[in-house]
Chains A and B, each alone.
Chain A
Amino acid sequence: MTSTANNGPTMADLRAEMLRGAQSVATLPAPSKERGITSDLSVDEGLLLHAAGWEPLDLVVGVGVVSIPYGVWQWGQGEISVASDAHNGAVRLASQQLRGECDKVQGYGVVGVRVEVEVRQHHVDVELVGTAVRPINGAAHKGNAFLSDLSARDFTLLKTAGWMPVGLAFGASFVYAPRRSAGTAMRQSTQNVELTNFTEAMYSARESAMERMQRSALDDKGEGVVNVRVTEGPMYFAKHAVGFTAWGTTVKLVADQHQYVRPDLILPLNDAVVSFEAQSLRGD
């Protein structure tokens, strides 16, 4: 998404603006009881949010640490439900904390949530960090804040299309890699065959994770989930166990109907510019 405005400040205007800015820090600020805002949005995201009629309020965080009892990862069959419960519990706890922080500053919701999930042998740690936002000059708002891991750009586009984020949808499933009998393993050792028990177990675990994610979206009264990310792989501390997680942003239609976004086509006619990166001298 780009701004197609061609009436931006000219070079002379920019210099004048810079001078105004320099004058503002050349004098001591008047005493004020106004509370400054904090935000982890980039300059572009902040401007885009303003253009969409929203403003940042505060940097907000949520953390959840939930334990996994001893013995859960030992050999077994089927799903490791305690680990799945721990994962979902940690996410729920972190989401509650994030919503609580957003409520404290009377935000309408949190955008650009950065999600960090760490599954350890005996605990699951979840960290959520984002920026609480509200409509510019919006009235005080309490409760039911939306959470979204979409960037400010995606949030703006979603809103333009008549949708709003509701919350973060999460689902996880941990399973034991299935075992074959000694006889089956011997018999199949010289064959190129599908290991059906593996296929079924993995297939089922993936579906379970996604089904839980969709169920959490429905619990939030959403209509769907966008920007879904899926992770999978063996646990580094228990190679015989495989974890699947799926998460995204729950959305719902707030307009009467979906608003079609009709993008303009752009054909850039400029050649690539070869530039010298002076920054490379700093050893970055």
Chain B
Amino acid sequence: MTDSTAPPAAAPPGDLPEAALRRLGSGAFSSGLTVPDFAACLQLGLQPVGLVQGFCVMQWGWYGSGSGFSRGMNPYNMGGQAQGAYAENYRCPHGYVSAEHRMWGQNFEQSWVQQAWHSGYDSSYARMLEEATAMGAHGVIGVIDRVTHIADSQTSEFHFLGTAVTVDGGPAPAGGVPWTTYLAGQRLTKSIEAGFMPVAVVASMASVRVWAYCMTEYLMEGGRTWGGPSGAHEVEQVTKAHMAVRQIARKHVRAQLGADSLQGAQIQIVKRELSAGDEVIDCTLRGNRMRRFKDFDVVPAPKPTVRLT
């Protein structure tokens, strides 16, 4: 969605509220920039044209028993999972013990959760771009994006906010889609000076579900391994799930980069423990996609200083 060379397709065109259209056409500009950021923006030849935003409220559906996405009784039933998605199976080494004994376990990527998250994220992003495009902006700087839960319900709101700008004498962006960045002010100025132009904000969410098998369950609830020595043990299934969720998020972001680079990346982890060993791990990775437009000018070697204040 954040490839500036392709128009975002998630939101239908022309679905802005009437109040937004009135505000965008009022003639006065608005901006979310601080005064220092505003000054730095003018110095770069960027003219703020308006504060732009996009919203999308999503309901999280039921993915449990009875849905098309439940695991069922078959460890190899990956209902709802995308092809090539991450999955790993674990088999009990003990044989039949009891009906409650967890004979097998699974780590698997919840593609449908990722798709739902991207649907909300991409729609709100596309709406912000729609506002910026309506104002003839070339780019959006100082972007802030948030995901918040609304009231006491299974709903989340995706929210984008930024300041639309035009570049003095600059060309229209590729495909008419404004470039975007989380940066503003002196940080944006330094990037430009160093030869990096923002292309888009990029983000990805990965979700991995851990169905613990007996060994993971025992270890995570303080059990000792059967017949093994007592003491601390690596919980392999959970360790691998944690590594996988981060690597998937990175892989998805990388797929949006092409030959560009991701700078200022931030990883956020949300872990929901359901029972001993059973958990859902969500990883969000976001950052600035930047394109190098000139060879790097090496900045002068830094010189240590001490301030007498």
Q: Which residues of A are at the interface with B, using a C-beta cutoff of 8 A?
A: 1-5, 8-9, 11, 14-15, 17-29, 32-44, 46-48, 50-52, 59, 61-72, 82-83, 85-86, 89, 93, 97, 121-125, 127, 129, 156-157, 160, 261-268, 275-279, 281-282, 284
Cβ 8 A contact of A264, one of B4, B232, B306: B306
Task: Chain B residues near A69: list those with CB within 8 A.
Answer: 222-224, 230-232
Q: Considering the chains assembled together, what is the distance between the CA atoms of A44 and B299 in angstroms?
A: 11
Do the beta carbons of A67 and B305 come within 8 Å of each other? Answer: no
Do the beta carbons of B161 and A282 come within 8 Å of each other? Answer: yes
- What residue in chain A is nearest B302 (Cβ atoms)? A1
Do the beta carbons of B298 and A50 come within 8 Å of each other? Answer: yes
B255-278 vs A, CB cutoff 8 Å, 1 = contact: the mask equals 001111111111101000000000
Do the beta carbons of A40 and B235 come within 8 Å of each other? Answer: no
- Interface size bracket, B side: 35 or more
Do the beta carbons of B301 and A25 come within 8 Å of each other? Answer: no
B135 interface residue, CB < 8 Å from A? Answer: no
Do the beta carbons of B197 and A24 come within 8 Å of each other? Answer: yes
Cβ 8 A contact of A25, one of B34, B38, B197, B306: B197
Do the beta carbons of B262 and A37 come within 8 Å of each other? Answer: yes
Task: Chain A residues near B38: list those with CB within 8 A.
Answer: 278
Cβ 8 A contact of A18, one of B167, B231, B233, B238: B167
- What residue in chain A is nearest B219 (Cβ atoms)? A67
Cβ 8 A contact of B171, one of A9, A11, A23, A71: A23
Within 8 A of A (CB), among B163-207: 167-174, 179, 183, 187, 189-199
- What residue in chain A is nearest B238 (Cβ atoms)? A65
Do the beta carbons of B258 and A61 come within 8 Å of each other? Answer: no
Q: Considering the chains assembled together, what is the distance between the CA atoms of A25 and B174 in angstroms?
A: 6
Cβ 8 A contact of B263, one of A34, A46, A263: A46
Do the beta carbons of A14 and B190 come within 8 Å of each other? Answer: no
- What residue in chain B is nearest A36 (Cβ atoms)? B257
